[in-house]
Amino acid sequence: MTDHYRLLDLVVDLPRQRVERDGVALDVSGLSFQLLAYLLAQGQRVVRFDELIEQVWAPAIVNEETVTQRVRLLRQALGDDARRPRYVRTVRGQGYQLGAMPAPVGEMAHRPTHRAWLGMAAGVVLLAGGVLAWTLTRVPQAAPPTAAQEMLDRAAWYASMGQRDNDNRAIDLYEHALADAPDDPQALLGLSRAYSARTCLYNDGAEWATKAQVLAERVLRARPNDAAAWSASGYAHDCLGDLPGALAGYERAMVLDPTDDATRASAAYLYQEQGRLADALRTNLDMRGDPAKVRFRNVAVARELELLGFTGAAEARLRRVFLLTPDNVFGNIAWPSFLFARGRGAEAQAAIQSAESHGTQRAELAQLSGELALLDNNRAAAATAFARAHALRPESTMAETLAGLYGPVPPSPTWISHRISETQARLQNDAWAPARVELAVLTLAKGDREAAAAAVQAAVDLGYRDAAWLRITPLLAGLHGDAAFNAALAAIDRRVAAERQRVLEAPWCPPELKATP
């Protein structure tokens, strides 16, 4: 591949990242230059939005609007007119292509002056263009996708963006595809995952994950060894809070398709929730493809490192994710949560504000704001924050509990008792440790320190390992100094120490962790 191109009256020097017109350098640098360089390598092929995002922006998660804005900046730098573009054309609904076939040219370190170049340009361009055209005719061309497959590919791309609007676009496309082919497994599973995302990622109700499970089971009845169907089933169970069902789906999918890194990452998260921190970290480090393509993996690894006590390594990862991918939902939650648990309240509040300015409106951030307000003895601000958390995710029982406990009107003893009874009934079939923490908050509000400490211990027994949060949250301040509560914290410390030692002794342990004091 050549390192130098001519595009109409532009000369592009890839090694020097330089674009010239008539010997004068243009201000094309950074992402604009990378975008131009990738387009040059494609000739005049139409390059779709999703390909540009993967090849130019990855691992950052961006959307079509980001690409469009960058093309606008590139055109400005080249002096191109968007209404009558010469260099970069828009292909409506698809992507972009160059306005002319680029001509590769030889090494230009000792190229002649502009005057001499004009005398020889025609011959060089014709020769290079002829060679390039011959090369292109020799490369077998893949058959273009059918209209139905193109719709499914587009839907999958929208779903991969991790944004509500794009998830809705994906759902519309999948539903259109199913209207034409009701039994298409790709459309059924794509729609299943997009429905689950409404529950897991976008604060919508559990009914979407229930619908997702129905779609996944429909595929499994026809194709019982379909790895993608097992993964979609696991995701639906995951979003419904069914940890055993989720793990069963994920682990079956990994057996059927060991290369499925996305499912591997999902299973790792559930191992973490069970307190199997070494297993979680190993699973996340054991990616079979490009780890950068596994959404939210960096956040998951950082969380595992944090719980294992590798605090410096966790902080470095979380800070990087927060700065480089401002629309990463879980990165926007994990970074301020990390700061809060380390007692860095002012930094945590600033991070929350930054995350929300990036468009992350999540119940978790609102709850964290409420906890910070309580630490500042600002109960009114806490009430507002908890009410907002409940409004953002009304199906979250913890958000409802906090909105009731800290609302403008103090809750009655009857309300608290009823809430405790409801929570205890729900926990009979709930293997999620955080649900026990909610019970601890409620029983403490009733004044029953013994029951609250017992609920914390039950959470620890199920795998809860966030001792840093337990020690600092004002929601459990009434337990500070309690012997049973301290015993639960000590149990976490012992179990984490054992998991940490497993990591340090494992052959797969990253060298930088072995050097951590």
* Mean pLDDT value across residues 305-321: 94
Token pair, residue 268, equals 């790792």
Categorize the per-residue pLDDT at 447 as very low, low, confident or very high, splitting at 50, 70 and 90.
very high
* Residue closest to 462 by CA, chosen among 440, 430, 439: 430
Looking at residue 138, its pLDDT comes to 39
Looking at residue 517, its pLDDT comes to 60
115-170: per-residue pLDDT in tens?
333 232 333 332 233 333 323 333 344 455 677 888 888 888 788 766 788 889 89
257-290: per-residue pLDDT in tens?
999 998 999 999 999 999 999 999 999 999 888 8
Residue that has been written with the tokens 């393509």 in this structure:
293
- Whether residue 187 is predicted with pLDDT greater than 90 in this model: the reply is yes
Backbone angles phi, psi at 146, to 5 degrees: -70, 165
Mapped onto helix, strand or coil, the DSSP state of residue 91 is strand
Integer CA distances (angstroms), 382 to 248, 342, 378, 434, 442, in order: 39, 20, 6, 21, 17
Using CA atoms, how far apart are residues 496 and 481, in angstroms rounded to an integer?
A: 21
CB atoms within 10 A of CB 219: 23
- Whether residue 32 is predicted with pLDDT greater than 50 in this model: the reply is yes
> What H or E segment, with its residue span, contains residue 11?
strand 10-13
* Mean pLDDT value across residues 413-436: 89
CATH assignment, 4-138:
1.10.10.10
- Residue 348 near residue 468 (C-beta atoms within 8 A): no
- Its pTM stands at 0.67
Looking at residue 133, its pLDDT comes to 33
> Cα-atom radius of gyration of the chain, to the nearest Å?
27
Categorize the per-residue pLDDT at 380 as very low, low, confident or very high, splitting at 50, 70 and 90.
very high
Least confident range of 71-80, 205-214, 299-308: 71-80
Looking at residue 12, its pLDDT comes to 87
* Mean pLDDT value across residues 340-360: 91
Token pair, residue 113, equals 């002056």
Looking at residue 334, its pLDDT comes to 95
Rounded to the nearest integer, the mean pLDDT of the chain is: 85
Interacting residues of 511 by C-beta distance below 8 A, sequence separation 6+: none
Interacting residues of 37 by C-beta distance below 8 A, sequence separation 6+: 12, 14
Give residue limits of the domains in the chain. Answer: 4-138, 411-517
